[in-house]
Chain A
Amino acid sequence: MKNFAFIVITVFTSLMGFGQSVETIVSKYYETIGGARWNDISSMKMTANVDQGGMKIPLEIVSMNDGRMYTEVTFMGNKIIVAAFDGQKSWSTNFMSMEAEEKPADDSENARRASKEFPNPLVKYKELGYSATLMGEEKIDGTSCFKIQLTKGTVLVDGKENPNIEYYYIDQENFVPLLMESEILDGELKGKTSQIKFSDYQEVNGVIVPFSSSQGIKGEESQSIQFETIEMNGEVDQAKFNFPKK
């Protein structure tokens, strides 16, 4: 009878998928998206045409494995860097003057702190000294997910340190994130929850990346981007990261 009870418990727990540690889940996620092949990736260039009511705005996002990045849009034939980090400074273009301006010091410092997170902070959490905790299982829009809290040290807001926490919802069937959440810590939306939903995962150079992401505020409208191309280790105009000399 005792053995029977043991078997029942064993069968149930294996069927229910209990006992998955956060290490196992993150490891499965990492393997699913390409695992060690990410070590060979030094840059990722993503292009999209953002549709604003029928107006197509070409978008190019480049992320480097050293943390540098830029986002460029092409508007009326003009290329505009709307956000960039050159490794030291974060900057953007003022849409009134169309000139580059440095972002607040907090933004640059936060970008510097995040500069080793490529391709993403969850899969490198141990290496980065972050902590990941399995919060439980939760259904996201009807799909069963593991909820993982990633604590990334602190983030600066108005010169003050704040907890830097992200939540990842990993699809239990496919082991890729469907949703990432974090609290907005600054500005008028402070206290609300930012959400990014991921889909359209596809293989590029042996690694798996989401070709679609939808960003918004929880409970409110969102804007999605459908990437047309994602290129790994391609040609990158290094000058675009740098704050232009005036």
Chain B
Amino acid sequence: MKKLFTLCLCMGQIFVSFSQATSLNAGDYFGDLKARHIGPALMSGRISDIELHPKNSNIVLIGAAGGGVWKSQDGGVRFTSIFDSYCQSIGCVTMDPNDPDNTYWVGTGEPWTRNSVSVGEGIYKTNDGGKNWTKMGLEKTDRIASIQINPKNSNEIYVGALGALWGPSEDRGVYKTTDGGKTWNKILYVNNTTGCSELVMDPSNPNQLYAAFWEFRRTAYSFNSGGLYSALYKSTDGGSTWKKMENGIPSGKKGRIAISIAPSNPKIVYAVIEAEKKEEKGLYRSEDGGDTWKFLNGDFALTVRPFYFSRISVHPSDPNIIAKAGLFGSISRDGGKTFKSLGSMHADIHDIVFDSQIKDKLFVATDGGLYRSLDGGSSMEIIENLPLSQFYHVSLDNRNPFYVYGGLQDNNSWFGPSASPGGIEARDWELVGQGDGFRVYPHPTNPKIVYSEMQGAEAIWRFDVEKQQLKTVKPYALEGDPKLRFNWNASLTTSKHHPDRLFVGSQFVHVSDDRGDSWTKISPDLTTNDKTKQNQEASGGLSADNSGAENHCTIFTIAESPLTDQILWVGTDDGNVQLTKDGGKTWENVTKNIAGLPANTWCYHIEASVFGKEIAYAVFDGHTKNDYTPYVFKTVDFGKTWQSIATTEINTFVRNIQEDYSNPNVLYVGAENGLYITLNGGKAWAPFTNNFPRVAVHYLELHPTKHSLVAATHGRGIIIIDDVRPINAIKEDMLTKNLSFFEVPSFTLPEKSNFGGTASENQFVGDNPSSLAIVRYFLPKRHTFGKMTGEIVDASGKTMCNVEVGKLKGINTVVWGFNASAPKVAKGKGFSAAPAPFVSAGPYLLRITKGNETFEKAIEVKYDSTSTFTLADREKQQTATKELITMIQDLAYLVYQIDQWDAKATEYKTKHTKTEKYVDALRMELTAMRNSLVVTTGDNYVGAAEDQLREKINEIYGTVSSYFGAPSSSELANIRALSNELNKAKKQFGVIQETRIKAFKALLEKDTSIKMPEILSFEEFLKQ
């Protein structure tokens, strides 16, 4: 017994110490602090796979290259993300043919193996149409190209796993489960460099399978497609045995192969083969289930870039209609003899899927989103609500609202606002570059000047947005220089100290002090200059692919110290970290000091600290060497020593780190699977998942004055956490207090108003930030039992209005619209509203009542210092508003009294059939008076009655109270006229009270069965 007690005690201690160790792990305390998405979706992003419901054309699934899984239930009009909590790199989405309404499988890891491709983390299944997902294994396959499900047995599933791109791996080939994914057997494996790039099943005979195997490998500096192990295989016994198909198939080395069966005639099989000989590359057709093959066509559209476009689709009901993915996409209606291009759309087509119910309807997945055609591919329309944009980078300016700048995979360079009337729409984004876009920067003091670049620094532009002047400003090789080597995503940045200064990295650091007109080289070659990694001309394998994507031994990141212009940190893609402390005169390679970092690991980002010249963070990405370890290091001594600050809580490779500007212990890391935050300098990290999908974050930027953390995601566009100050202000002692307010700045009363946005119903619109007063506080525990309410109180102690209060564990939010309470409006027909007026500048108090406890936070409201309105203007507006509120409430009280007496007179009338005449007269007078004061008939649309006094006062009140300047003379004149009218009415009612009501009261006193009306006082009436 004693032993058991001791054991329990030990267990208890384990739990206690566990609890203590994690008490400051941010993950439990983000509360209601959430991210917002601003897209954009106008260029959308790369989509890797499309799946259509076999019997219901309304159901469409897509898998995005970096943006997760989306579902449409209306034939592709609108899409909803259904996979936010999981890996966003998708290889394949498949509906179970036995249960296509509910059961979907998702293979993660995109199979279109470009240099910027992300990685997967296995296979998932849902049984309820995407509401809940279960991981079903194959975690190490990296990228899944195909999932085939027996149409007669949902438990029998085949998976074509392409496997690792960046290194050898045995986790690839064809896998089979016969127990619905509980266990998997690898039933076809070739070797550790050759994976299954396509797997198809004969729909009429699920034992008949065709598998394309591809020998491939990518490094940071080269790509190879093809080898002797690439081949086409067929099984006729459910994968027990496989036979290589060779009759009519080119011999020798082969590269990537696309294969597809004609569902309406499964004997007809098409394959597009990347062959060794040019004349053998192209489309092959078999009419005997793969026993023999015949070469049909070697058109460019069929053979272009096999690694990127190896997908061929056959129409469900016509074996001679086939469509081939490619640069533009093409379609044949004669069984592959001839092709024509699909209609105009974004280039780089990855998948084409025909609708099985509507013959001419098809969907196309491109580098620039999803397209739909209703006429067999002649005309294409883009789906405008898929914010899948793949940013490489983001920078910010100092405008209000601030703008974000960034470049995207195959989708140019852009800038757009972080806030816009009605939300951030497609039209808000401005194009500032071509090609693949990467780093885009505004001039630090003149945001009308924007710098942008395209791949491999083929061009670096300086663009005057206002004058629409465009100049190429890239540095060129000087006499005696070697060829300049620029990364695909070339390093470009502005200076924090010299507004006209620009830095560009080739293998050298180039500096311009005249906005790029002239350049000076301020470093030697800072890379390893390894010649074996500079033969990009030979890249591609069987199909040359020298796009610049493999350029290597280049500078990738340049970080100027925010504290001095003399310190520059440089990171290279071949693993060097170099430092100059004298503006480039001398350089020191500090790479060797980074213990635990494998040699030649890509230095992706260096963050020079604001807290000390000697402090910097360096992030390394080893995934191009098949190393998914997160490498995050910190130095506090100019790189002499480095400390690793990544923990196992970050479970994949990382690309970026952002320092908090006010709390040195708070850091933000952009990882391949999302955003991580530490509150303690890297001792513990937590993923931030409040409306932040598990998407690859390529770059993070923190706005220095707005405190917004902005993430450039590679698949879900720009995601913003508007104000991270509560995160950096969480302190351990908050856990011991019932409620702790975070500091708040003074709030500026917003004066802008607009007519909203213009986006059509099905276009994506990015969320705006709140422009209201936001107060945040910390709760150590969620509020569950008892009341918790909030109110705003003015300096005199008067309650202005009630506010909603957050009740979650951790950070909570109160939003106040700067409003007081709305005036009480007279009862009448229709919706003549009088909104709440804005408060004036001054001190206020947020009061939160939680059970028996009260918590208060002082708030200061001020006027916009840039406003054109004077204080005198404001006083006139406030005086007029107050007068109108008095008029509105006086009228309300007047109508209330009329209603009370009218009701009583009516009651009397129903009881006394022989009524005194003057009771009828009283009722008539009251009715007539009410009819002149408020609308009593009509509807709220075109049947509305003529406006009466209530409607007229409310109208001028709305006009005056919603504007911050002085009322105009005509507005004041209108107020005077209405005031006179109201006074006349009050006087008239006074006469009625003295005459007919007085008489009526005398009648009532005689009849004790009818109570005298209990007329509330004006004050009581307002409180009612």
**Contact, CB under 8 Å: A77 / B78:** no
CB-CB < 8 A to A214: which residues of B?
Answer: 804
* Partner-binding segment picked from A63-71, A124-132, A198-206, A234-242: A198-206
* Partner-binding segment picked from B23-31, B353-361, B566-574, B623-631: B23-31
B835: interface (CB < 8 Å): yes
**Contact, CB under 8 Å: B788 / A55:** no
**Contact, CB under 8 Å: B831 / A75:** yes
CA distance A226 to B850 in the complex (A): 13
CB-CB < 8 A to A8: which residues of B?
Answer: 7
A19: interface (CB < 8 Å): no
- Out of B29, B31, B828, name the residue touching A77 (CB < 8 Å): B828
**Contact, CB under 8 Å: A165 / B131:** yes
CA distance A78 to B827 in the complex (A): 7
B820: interface (CB < 8 Å): yes
CB-CB < 8 A to B831: which residues of A?
Answer: 75-76, 95
Q: How large is the interface on B (under 10, 10 to 19, 20 to 34, 35 or more residues)?
A: 35 or more
Report the number of A-B residue pairs with Cβ-Cβ less than 8 Å: 148
Interface residues of B in 914-929 (CB under 8 A from A): none
* Partner-binding segment picked from A20-28, A114-122, A186-194: A186-194
- Out of B78, B808, B829, B837, name the residue touching A188 (CB < 8 Å): B78
**Contact, CB under 8 Å: A54 / B820:** yes
- Shortest Cβ gap from A208 to chain B (Å): 8
Interface string of A36-56 (1 = CB under 8 A from B): 000000000000010101111
B785: interface (CB < 8 Å): yes
DSSP majority for the B interface? Answer: loop
B8: interface (CB < 8 Å): yes
**Contact, CB under 8 Å: A51 / B802:** yes
**Contact, CB under 8 Å: B939 / A96:** yes
CA distance A51 to B821 in the complex (A): 9
A174: interface (CB < 8 Å): yes
B153: interface (CB < 8 Å): no
A153: interface (CB < 8 Å): no
CA distance A55 to B80 in the complex (A): 34
* Partner-binding segment picked from A84-92, A105-113, A135-143: A135-143
- Shortest Cβ gap from B650 to chain A (Å): 19
CA distance A180 to B817 in the complex (A): 28
CA distance A149 to B808 in the complex (A): 23
**Contact, CB under 8 Å: A219 / B691:** yes
A102: interface (CB < 8 Å): no
**Contact, CB under 8 Å: A142 / B822:** no
CA distance A139 to B767 in the complex (A): 26
**Contact, CB under 8 Å: B810 / A191:** no
CA distance A201 to B71 in the complex (A): 37
**Contact, CB under 8 Å: A226 / B78:** no
**Contact, CB under 8 Å: B835 / A55:** yes
**Contact, CB under 8 Å: A178 / B784:** yes
**Contact, CB under 8 Å: A142 / B27:** yes
> Given A135-B132, A200-B783, A226-B789, does the pair A76, B827 have CB atoms closer than 8 Å?
yes
CB-CB < 8 A to B28: which residues of A?
Answer: 139, 142
Interface string of B802-816 (1 = CB under 8 A from A): 111001111000000
**Contact, CB under 8 Å: B829 / A141:** no
- Out of B29, B79, B782, B829, name the residue touching A78 (CB < 8 Å): B829
B188: interface (CB < 8 Å): no
CA distance A139 to B74 in the complex (A): 32
A1: interface (CB < 8 Å): no
CA distance A51 to B943 in the complex (A): 29
**Contact, CB under 8 Å: A142 / B34:** no
**Contact, CB under 8 Å: A183 / B819:** no
> Given A11-B8, A78-B827, A96-B940, does the pair A224, B819 have CB atoms closer than 8 Å?
no
CA distance A155 to B730 in the complex (A): 45
**Contact, CB under 8 Å: A141 / B782:** yes
> Given A54-B836, A56-B822, A98-B829, does the pair A183, B27 have CB atoms closer than 8 Å?
no
**Contact, CB under 8 Å: B782 / A178:** yes
- Shortest Cβ gap from B839 to chain A (Å): 10
Residue of B4, B807, B821, B827 with most partner-chain A CB within 10 A: B807
- Shortest Cβ gap from B661 to chain A (Å): 26
CB-CB < 8 A to A51: which residues of B?
Answer: 801-804
CA distance A76 to B11 in the complex (A): 62
- Out of B34, B787, B810, name the residue touching A200 (CB < 8 Å): B787
**Contact, CB under 8 Å: A96 / B941:** yes
CB-CB < 8 A to B30: which residues of A?
Answer: 141-142
B825: interface (CB < 8 Å): yes
Nearest opposing residue in chain B for A147, CB measure:
B132
Interface string of B128-154 (1 = CB under 8 A from A): 110110000000000000000000000
B300: interface (CB < 8 Å): no
**Contact, CB under 8 Å: B11 / A11:** yes
CB-CB < 8 A to A7: which residues of B?
Answer: 4, 7
CA distance A75 to B30 in the complex (A): 37
> Given A76-B831, A178-B782, does the pair A211, B787 have CB atoms closer than 8 Å?
yes
- Out of B11, B73, B832, name the residue touching A190 (CB < 8 Å): B73
CB-CB < 8 A to B784: which residues of A?
Answer: 171, 174, 176, 178, 199-201
Nearest opposing residue in chain A for B772, CB measure:
A53
CB-CB < 8 A to A224: which residues of B?
Answer: 804
**Contact, CB under 8 Å: B833 / A142:** no
> Given A141-B810, A163-B128, does the pair A202, B786 have CB atoms closer than 8 Å?
yes
**Contact, CB under 8 Å: A56 / B821:** yes
CA distance A220 to B129 in the complex (A): 22
Nearest opposing residue in chain B for A139, CB measure:
B28
CA distance A201 to B786 in the complex (A): 6
CB-CB < 8 A to B830: which residues of A?
Answer: 76, 98
- Shortest Cβ gap from A169 to chain B (Å): 11
CA distance A200 to B790 in the complex (A): 13
CA distance A11 to B802 in the complex (A): 48
B826: interface (CB < 8 Å): yes
Closest 7 CB pairs of A and B: A54-B836, A77-B827, A191-B80, A54-B819, A142-B28, A55-B822, A142-B809
Q: List 25 A-B contacts (CB under 8 A).
A: A11-B7, A49-B802, A53-B817, A54-B800, A54-B820, A54-B835, A55-B821, A56-B802, A75-B831, A77-B826, A96-B941, A141-B808, A141-B809, A143-B782, A143-B808, A163-B102, A167-B131, A174-B785, A176-B784, A183-B129, A190-B73, A190-B80, A191-B71, A202-B787, A226-B802
**Chain B residues within 8 Å of A, Cβ to Cβ:** 4, 7-8, 11, 15, 27-32, 34, 71-74, 78-80, 82, 102, 128-129, 131-132, 691, 761, 767, 781-789, 800-804, 807-810, 817, 819-822, 825-833, 835-837, 939-941, 943
- 14 extra A-B contacts, CB within 8 A, seeds A54-B822, A212-B787: A8-B7, A11-B7, A11-B11, A49-B802, A51-B803, A53-B817, A96-B940, A97-B939, A98-B940, A141-B30, A163-B102, A163-B128, A201-B785, A226-B804
